[in-house]
Structure 1
Amino acid sequence: MFQAYKYRIYPKIEQQIALAKSFGCCRWYWNYALNLCQETYKTTGKGWSRTAIQGLLPQLKKEYPWLSYAYSQCLQVVALNLSTAYKNFFEKRARLPQFKSKHSRQSISYPQNVKFLGDYLKLPGKVGLVYCVRHRPYEGTIKTVTVSKNRDGKYYASVLVDDGKETPNLSTHDRDLNAATNIKNEALRILSLGTSDTASLRGCQSSEKTSVSSDAIPVDARSPHLLYE
């Protein structure tokens, strides 16, 4: 059964810079893929699968070398999250996925190679060991870690854990049903972080718009400094 834990983290200045660059790369890729999905649907009535979106990465990295700064699996999770966002929309669990703004909450997800070492959270890639306040322990196997920065400048790590326990029998009691539903919804929220959470944030475009704002994709996409401001 999945359990979600959220911890406060305190990255150093150089780690904040590394995270800002990773946030920017993943945000750009999300907006690029979302715009492509919208424009393709307008002209053909069809969408893009997660595999097809991930297949864009090799060529995009050649055109925009700064995309390689982000940990490769974080970029792959972007395609998964976008696919999940559309699935949640069609199943009436969420609104349409929205374009992301650099002025809103930022996040990236690590699907593996993350572990705790004492008071530190070890992230793969260029970030490394980040001081973490674990106010409560967790039991189980880490499945996904999402690092986020709120608009107030605070950083958090949302850890999705599989504790190996069976899902409670939903028919036994209404209280068990509510608890299991809340756990499932929280797990889905973390897995698709940056989709439904950001849909209601100010600064994002309306779902009716198909063009990408200047906050979403830079006019000169070859100028990576625009991503990290």
Structure 2
Amino acid sequence: MTLKGLNVRIYPNKKQKLLIQCNFGYNRFVWNQMLHMLIERYDHNPKATFLNAYALNLLLPALKREYAWLKEAESTSLQITNHDLVEAYKNFFKQKHGFPKFKSKKSFKQSYQCKCVNQNVKQTAAHAIQLPKLGRIRFKAGKTIPKVIKSVTIRQSFTGKYYAILLVEDESQAFRKTNARIGLDLGISDLVIGSDGQKIPSIRFDKQQETKLHKWEKRLARRRLHAQKAMAWDKHNKVLQPRQLADFKNVQKARLMVAKLHEKIVHQRQNYLHQITTQLVKSYDLIAIEELKTKNLMHNHKLARAIASQAWGEIRRMLTYKCAWYGKELVIVHPYKTSQICSHCGHDDGKHELGVREWTCPSCGTLHDRDINAAKNILNKAIAY
């Protein structure tokens, strides 16, 4: 059995939406209270031992007595919030991330997580799911939900859509063995180049929506500017109830349209990458890719936007978990001189400019396609491991 994440869209009614928003607020409040307490504790006694998640959970009953409305929250979600806060501190200590930040209710992306206890999360009908504190909610998913559910995360997107991310136990699957191996070089004009000569083109979904996105971003900027002027006028004239930016419907409409266009780009890119990675895992038993330092490559401002739109890190992430799911092998190799060495004789021809897409090896006379040669070197390195 393997653990998998299943993302389903849910359609709550008005009452359920209010309960979801309340739970967002409860978990945000507990996070901020615990974070403030830990900061104050360190300021008063820097030598005090750091509290773990269990110690923070012991403070929840006292917090509920002080704030009675916290009793309406889903209890396991508050415990998970404490656990996430402790993990955020640990990542800060390991210098993986920055210091934990206070959460704001103004953030459009909100979420909270619940544990599955005594089957409080289960599918009750073909298109209905039972969720803690929310009851029965209509949902839509691309596959059947397994019976064993470990936890559920309720999330609201920037566009106001609601999703339930289920952590489920699913039967281990394995694609049939093909005894085939491939090295993959990731590029810009061609997204994936294989050592066998195949090239998968990159699709710039951001370019396809560029005109609409530019139009609505201009409208958003213009409407926000007019709203700020109106707010300043109200304040200057001492209006009793000055308006906030959220009160301007035209601003919110433009913000929503910009968010929807960005969401469409993300979904199109994700769908395309899923198709590519699934086909690769089905076709090859060993897949070799290079460990790219995307952050360093982004320093080239002429190619930064094109590099960011390729989502190379997402390709690696998908290949990692899909190879683990389906019994295939993924090898990550160092990219040192993969595009400079001749894959036929091993001669190092030195660094080539990005405009040089083909070159002839002076040692053996082989004509190389730059990207295919790099993919072959990546595969050779993986086999040598």
TM-score (norm 1): 0.68
Q: Which has the higher contact order (CA 8 A, sep 6+)?
A: 1
Match of 2:3 in 1: 2
Once the 2 structures are TM-superposed, how far is the Cα of residue 10 of structure 1 from its aligned partner? Answer: 0.8
Measure, in 2, the Cα distance between the counterparts of 1:140 and 1:96: 38
Unaligned runs of 5+ in 1: 167-171, 184-229
Q: Superposition pairs for residues 109-148 of structure 1, below 5 Å?
A: 109-112=113-116, 113-118=120-125, 119-125=127-133, 127-139=134-146, 141-148=148-155
Asked if structure 2 preserves the Cα contact closer than 8 Å seen for 1:140 and 1:164, the reply is: no
Q: Kindly tell me: are residues 33 and 181 of structure 1, through their superposed partners in 2, closer, same or farther at Cα, counting changes over 3 Å?
A: farther
Match of 1:50 in 2: 53
Unaligned runs of 5+ in 2: 174-284, 290-315, 323-385
Once the 2 structures are TM-superposed, how far is the Cα of residue 174 of structure 1 from its aligned partner? Answer: 5.0
Q: Superposition pairs for residues 2-41 of structure 1, below 5 Å?
A: 2-41=3-42
Measure, in 2, the Cα distance between the counterparts of 1:133 and 1:71: 24
Pairwise CA RMSD: 2.6
Measure, in 2, the Cα distance between the counterparts of 1:175 and 1:138: 33
Q: Kindly tell me: are residues 59 and 5 of structure 1, through their superposed partners in 2, closer, same or farther at Cα, counting changes over 3 Å?
A: same
**Mean Cα displacement is larger for which, 9-18 or 127-136?**
127-136
User: Identity over the aligned pairs, expressed in percent?
Assistant: 34
Q: Superposition pairs for residues 1-229 of structure 1, below 5 Å?
A: 1-45=2-46, 46-104=49-107, 105-112=109-116, 113-118=120-125, 119-125=127-133, 127-139=134-146, 141-163=148-170, 165=172, 173=286, 179=318, 181-182=320-321
Q: Kindly tell me: are residues 98 and 92 of structure 1, through their superposed partners in 2, closer, same or farther at Cα, counting changes over 3 Å?
A: same
Helix, strand or coil at the partner of 1:110: strand
1:164-191 C-alpha deviation (Å, 9 max, x unpaired): 549xxxxx945599557557xxxxxxxx
The structure richer in helix per residue is 2
Task: Flag the structure with larger Rg.
Answer: 2
Measure, in 2, the Cα distance between the counterparts of 1:68 and 1:162: 30
Measure, in 2, the Cα distance between the counterparts of 1:173 and 1:95: 36
Measure, in 2, the Cα distance between the counterparts of 1:91 and 1:181: 23
Measure, in 2, the Cα distance between the counterparts of 1:68 and 1:175: 51
Q: Kindly tell me: are residues 178 and 71 of structure 1, through their superposed partners in 2, closer, same or farther at Cα, counting changes over 3 Å?
A: closer
Asked if structure 1 preserves the Cα contact closer than 8 Å seen for 2:122 and 2:147, the reply is: no
